[in-house]
């Protein structure tokens, strides 16, 4: 089995694959202070390490990248594929500095099933809009994610506090909790609807829209657009990249 690590700032989205499709997924909390030994103990609670024959790491947290590399080499006796400059991804990046483009953006684009123009909306710690076609990322938008927006209110205002991420039943709130939830959640929904329209104007062509990420299920039904969901898109991309790099 191949283990696929998508390391984000909040969680490590992890998948198991037989080499052709994703068989199982789970999440671990991202913790830059955890040692390889501690991560391995957590990993063992989800899977039997003896079945792992390959590892790929796509990460936006360098300290955790090094920790997972050490874990892989020490406990699994394998050399992992790491998405970094020089790794075969099959994805070209139109950017002023392609080396700055995050592994998560590349993996999402690599997970697309066809070269048709597609806007990928990845909802996580940051909300990312990735425009890709013909195996090329041509542009990206990055905005604060839902949890990050709530943290910003909690940390920078005297009377507002952190709340759970939920979709309130109406837009206009009558208490602090519902007011914050409406602003953050419906604000994100309206931003998505508006961004899709603005991007359509800019690119001047039709495109598919795919939403993914840990929070995509929460808001998908409230978006007034034709959007498909693929929660495993980034893992599919990691698997495709892994297969390009193994001998």
Question: What pLDDT shows up at residue 99?
Answer: 78
- Mean of the per-residue pLDDT values for the chain? 91
User: How many residues belong to the chain?
Assistant: 247
143 vs 151, higher pLDDT: 143
**Where does the pLDDT of residue 198 fall: very low under 50, low under 70, confident under 90, or very high at 90 and above?**
very high
Q: Average of pLDDT values for 191-217?
A: 94
What are the structural domains, with CATH classification, of the chain?
2-82 (3.30.420.40), 116-235 (3.30.420.40)
Question: What pLDDT shows up at residue 51?
Answer: 92
In the chain, what percentage of residues exceed pLDDT 90? 71
What stretches of the chain show up as alpha helix (H) in DSSP? 36-44, 62-75, 103-110, 146-156, 176-181, 187-203, 216-219, 233-245
- Of the residues 23, 37, 104, 230, only one is catalytic, namely 104
Q: Is the pLDDT of residue 240 over 70?
A: yes
In the chain, what percentage of residues exceed pLDDT 70? 96
Contacts of 137 (CB under 8 A, 6+ apart): 91, 92, 93, 94, 95, 101, 105, 106, 109, 130, 131
Pairing of strands 2-7, 228-229: unpaired
**Where does the pLDDT of residue 163 fall: very low under 50, low under 70, confident under 90, or very high at 90 and above?**
confident
Question: What pLDDT shows up at residue 154?
Answer: 62
Contacts of 213 (CB under 8 A, 6+ apart): 121, 122, 123, 124, 231
Other CB atoms closer than 10 Å to residue 57's CB: what's the count?
26
Q: Is the pLDDT of residue 158 over 70?
A: no
- The model's pTM is 0.91
DSSP state of 122: E
**Each residue of 208-245: b (16+ CB within 10 Å) or e?**
ebbbbbbbbebbbeebeeebeebebbbbbbbbbbbbee
Question: What pLDDT shows up at residue 156?
Answer: 63
Q: Average of pLDDT values for 94-119?
A: 91
Q: Is the pLDDT of residue 72 over 70?
A: yes
Least confident of 23-27, 109-113, 243-247: 243-247
Q: Average of pLDDT values for 231-245?
A: 96
Q: 68 phi and psi, to 5 degrees?
A: -70, -35
Question: What pLDDT shows up at residue 152?
Answer: 72
Tokens of 31: 């913790």
Is 104 a residue of the active site? yes
Question: What pLDDT shows up at residue 122?
Answer: 95
Q: Is the pLDDT of residue 159 over 60?
A: no
Question: What pLDDT shows up at residue 57?
Answer: 97
């Amino acid at each position: 089995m191949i283990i696929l690590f998508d390391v984000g700032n909040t969680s490590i989205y992890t998948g198991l694959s037989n080499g052709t499709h994703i068989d199982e997924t789970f999440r671990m909390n991202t913790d830059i202070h955890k040692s390889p030994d501690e991560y391995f103990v957590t990993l063992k609670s989800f899977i039997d390490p003896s079945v792992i024959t390959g590892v790929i790491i796509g990460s936006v947290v360098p300290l955790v990248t090094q920790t997972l590399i050490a874990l892989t080499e020490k406990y699994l006796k394998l050399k992992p594929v790491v998405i970094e400059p020089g790794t075969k991804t099959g994805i070209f990046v139109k950017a002023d500095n392609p080396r700055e483009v995050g592994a998560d953006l590349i993996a999402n684009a690599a997970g697309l099933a066809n070269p048709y123009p597609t806007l990928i909306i990845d909802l996580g710690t940051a909300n990312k809009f990735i425009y890709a076609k013909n195996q090329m990322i041509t542009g990206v938008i990055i905005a604060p994610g839902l949890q990050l927006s709530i943290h910003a209110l909690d940390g920078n205002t005297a009377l507002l506090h952190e709340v759970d991420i939920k979709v309130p039943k109406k837009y206009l709130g009558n208490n602090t909790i519902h007011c914050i939830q409406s602003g953050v959640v419906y604000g994100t929904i309206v931003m998505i609807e508006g961004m899709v329209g603005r991007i359509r104007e800019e690119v001047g062509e039709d495109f598919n829209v795919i939403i993914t990420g840990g929070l995509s299920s929460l808001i998908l039904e409230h978006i007034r657009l034709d959007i498909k969901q693929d929660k495993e898109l980034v893992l599919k991309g990691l698997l495709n990249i892994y297969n390009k790099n193994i001998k």
